[in-house]
Amino acid sequence: MDTEENPAVFLDRDGVINVDKGYVHKQADFEWMTGACEAIKYANDNGFLVIVVTNQSGIARGYYTEEDVQALHAWMNQHLAERGAKIDAFYYSPYHPDGTIREYRRVSDCRKPQPGMLLQAFADWPIDKAQSFLIGDNEKDMAAATQAGILGYLFGGDDLHALMADCIRTSRLATSS
């Protein structure tokens, strides 16, 4: 990781990168959203870090493990690498206050709508916050973006690549004026 600041696009996972089928944690259940791979490559090619921020309450509920999530994320990046793209970092929140697994049963500032995952990424990476934004599929994502001090864009499930191109163009216009 270099020290020059780059803008970042933060992406929610389920419902943005992949079809939300409920607690997706296996490659066999993973289905890329239309334009997702192209959107990530477009962000890479335009100098944006790509960072996933995803609530994974299935861990707290005992449906799957952190290792399952990490394996899926590694597979996603392998799939993207074959297309010349990459996700720079994955942040996930395994917590839920109603979880059945004691170590994950709690309120956490890393669970959206709280901004903890984004704030941790700002601490971990040299990010140009002024040009950064989040794409999510619900109001919790938008609230996390607002609390982290970046723009949030609501994805309706159509073509992620088209939305990404618009968001990057808007980001560049806003900071050049």
**For 8-27, how does the pLDDT look when each residue is reduced to its tens digit (9 = 90+)?**
999 999 999 999 999 999 99
Told to judge if 128 belongs to the known catalytic residues of this protein, a careful annotator would answer no
Averaged pLDDT, 105-127: 98
Half-sphere CA count of 44, side-chain side, radius 13 A: 16
Per-residue pLDDT, 173: 81
Residue 112 lies in a domain: yes
| Residue 48 domain flag | yes
Within a domain: residue 107?
yes
Reply yes or no on whether the pLDDT at 1 is more than 80: no
First-last CA distance in the chain: 29
Q: What is the pLDDT of residue 2?
A: 54
pLDDT higher than threshold 90 for residue 174: no
Q: How does residue 74 score in pLDDT terms, banded at 50, 70 and 90? A: very high
Cβ 43 vs Cβ 89: under 8 Å: no
| pLDDT tens per residue, range 144-156 | 999 999 999 999 9
Catalytic site includes residue 159 = no
Q: Is residue 69 part of a domain?
A: yes
- 114 occurs within a structural domain: yes
In the chain, the number of structural domains is: 1
- In the chain, the percentage of residues whose pLDDT exceeds 70 is 97
The rounded mean pLDDT for the chain is 96
Report the pLDDT value the prediction gives residue 165, as an integer from 0 to 100. Answer: 97
In a domain, 1, yes or no: no
Domain-located, residue 33? yes
Element housing 170 (H / E): helix 160-176
Per-residue confidence (pLDDT) for residue 177, from 0 to 100: 56
Q: CATH code at 41?
A: 3.40.50.1000
Determine the average pLDDT of the residues in 65-79: 98
Q: What is the pLDDT of residue 175?
A: 74
Residue 170 falls within a domain, yes or no?
yes
pLDDT in tens, 155-172: 999 999 999 999 999 988
pLDDT tens digits, residue range 23-54?
A: 999 999 999 999 999 999 999 999 999 999 99
Task: Single out the catalytic residue among 12, 88, 137, 141.
Answer: 12
Nearest residue to 12 via CA among 175, 133, 166: 133
DSSP 97: T
Q: Which domain holds residue 139?
A: 8-176
